Amino acid sequence: MLESYIRSYNDAVFETDKEAAMAVVNKALADGVTPENIVFRLIIPAIEMMMAIIEKDPDANLAQHFMTAQIAADVTEKMLEKFSQPPEVIGRIVIGAAHGDLHSLGKRIVSGCLKALMVEVIDLGVNVSAERFVDAAVSENAQVIAISAMMVHTATGENGSQRVRALLQERGLEQKIKLAVGGAPYRFDPELYRKVGADAWAADGVTAGKMIVNLIREVKNDTA
């Protein structure tokens, strides 16, 4: 039964039709699906299916990524208020736009997906210094630092990800905190993430959710 909801929900999301997607969720609720099952058996599988679709479909576009994250985050937030007990979180990340970068869309898409996937997201905003990324990750006990950079110099500059990597190394944090990057320059040079010292990258905000969840699991396994 939930499979048909997932299909209808993703069809609506793929058409960037928020009203239709919300109608599917409301119908499921009216049919007696619990808020917990809405999140864990509808929204999360729908995001995972969307990740698979986007990975395979080169024609998936930014509007679809945006709506996937936006709707999932909205629904999850509403459902969490109705949960009988707080859900278990997978992990925690700090996210922000690189030093000198004022673009915020990418991190919003990533954050929306992660929140729906039960990852706690601490958003540091835009134009974030390397020191602030690392300090926040330590104080928040985050497993991942995620840095968005939409301009070439903010992706490759010495005050961006490269500096974060250097600080993680200096402070002996490389096993405890992984570094993820994303943004336009990385799409043009898929090897660029290695050159700026990151552990992983993703070509879009939705699949970034999957990549970050994998990094969180890696850290938890390494430090267990």
Partner 1 sequence: MTPLEILAAAINGKPAPRIPIFCNLLDQGARELAMTSKDYFSNGALVAEAQLKMLKRYGHDNVWSLHYVGKEAELLGCREILFANDGAPNVADFVIKSLDDISRFEIPPDITQVPAWQSVASCLQILKSEIGNTHPICAYVTASTTLPVILMGMEKWMELFLLGPFELRDELLRKCADFFHQYISALRAAGANVLVYSSPFGSPYFLSPDKIKKMVLPWMKHDLEPGGVADVVYYCGMAPFNNVIDLVFDELHITKHYTSPLDDLTTAKRIINTRGLTCGVIDDIKMIHWTVEETRAEVKRIIDIGKPGGHFLFGNGVMPLAVPEANIRAMVDAAFEYGGLE
Q: Which residues bind partner 1 (CB under 8 A)?
A: 16, 18, 59, 61-64, 66-67, 70, 100-105, 108, 127, 151-154, 156-157, 184-185, 187-189, 191-192, 195
- The residues that bridge with 92 in the sheet, in sequence order, are 120
Q: CB of 116: closest distance to partner 1 in angstroms?
A: 17
Q: CB of 98: closest distance to partner 1 in angstroms?
A: 11
- Cα–Cα nearest to 38, from 88, 89, 72, 86: 72
Q: CB of 59: closest distance to partner 1 in angstroms?
A: 6
Q: CB of 198: closest distance to partner 1 in angstroms?
A: 15
Please state, in angstroms and rounded to a whole number, the distance separating the CA atoms of residues 9 and 43: 9
Q: CB of 149: closest distance to partner 1 in angstroms?
A: 10
- The residues that bridge with 200 in the sheet, in sequence order, are 180
CB-nearer residue toward partner 1: 2 or 184: 184
Q: CB of 213: closest distance to partner 1 in angstroms?
A: 23
Please state, in angstroms and rounded to a whole number, the distance separating the CA atoms of residues 15 and 182: 25
What long-range pairs does 166-170 form, CB within 8 A, spacing at least 24? 166/130, 166/197, 167/130, 167/131, 167/134, 168/134
CB-nearer residue toward partner 1: 157 or 209: 157
End-to-end CA distance of the chain: 38
CB-nearer residue toward partner 1: 198 or 216: 198
CB-nearer residue toward partner 1: 159 or 214: 159
CB contact at 8 A, 205 and 106: yes
In degrees and rounded to multiples of 5, residue 89 shows phi and psi of: -90, 150
Please state, in angstroms and rounded to a whole number, the distance separating the CA atoms of residues 24 and 160: 42
CB-nearer residue toward partner 1: 177 or 202: 202
CB-nearer residue toward partner 1: 194 or 217: 194
Give CA angle at 104 (144, 137), nearest 5°.
25
